[in-house]
Structure 1
Amino acid sequence: MDRAELINTAMTLLIAGFETTSNMISLGTAALLHHPAQLERFLAGGGAFQADAVEELLRYLTIAQNPRQFVAVADTRIGDNLIRAGEGVLVSLPSANRDPAAFDDADALDLGRPARHHLAFSYGTHQCLGQSLARRELLLTFQTLFTRVPTLRLVDSVEEFDLKIGTRVHGFNSLNVTW
Structure 2
Amino acid sequence: MLQKPGALAEVIMNPQEELQAIYYQDEKMRRFQQLYPELLVLDATYSLNDLRMPLYVLLVVDGNGESQPVGLWLVANKECETIAALMDIFVGENNAADIHCVMADEIMERQVAEKLPNAVLQIACGKMSITSQQRLAVLNLFSKMVYAKTEETYEEQYSTLKELGLPQVTRYIDSKWHGLKA
Give the TM-score normalised by the residue count of structure 1: 0.28
**Bigger CA radius of gyration:** 1
Which of 1 and 2 has higher RCO (CA within 8 Å, sep 6+)? 1
Q: Relative to total residues, which structure has the larger strand share, 1 or 2?
A: 2
